Amino acid sequence: MTAWTREQLDTITRVDEIEISSRRDDGTLTKPRIIWAVRDGDEVYIRSVNGPAATWYRSTRPHHEGRLRAANLGVDVTFVDADDTVGDRVDAAYRDKYRRYATSIVDSINSPLAAGTTMRVVPR
Closest CA to 118 of 92, 91, 95: 91
Residue 17 has what pLDDT?
A: 97
Task: Examine the pLDDT at 33 and tell me if it is beyond 70.
Answer: yes
Q: Residues 48-71: what's their mean pLDDT? A: 97
Closest CA to 66 of 118, 7, 122: 122
pTM score of the predicted model: 0.96
Residue 26 has what pLDDT?
A: 97
Residue 1 has what pLDDT?
A: 62
Q: How far is CA 8 from CA 24, 52, 73, 77, 96, in A?
A: 25, 27, 7, 12, 19
Q: Residues 72-84: what's their mean pLDDT? A: 96
Q: Residues 111-121: what's their mean pLDDT? A: 98
| Spatial distance between the Cα atoms of 67 and 84, rounded to a whole number of angstroms | 24
What does the longest C-alpha to C-alpha distance in the chain come to? 40
Q: Are 47 and 111 in contact (CB under 8 A)?
A: no
Residue 2 has what pLDDT?
A: 85
| Spatial distance between the Cα atoms of 77 and 31, rounded to a whole number of angstroms | 15
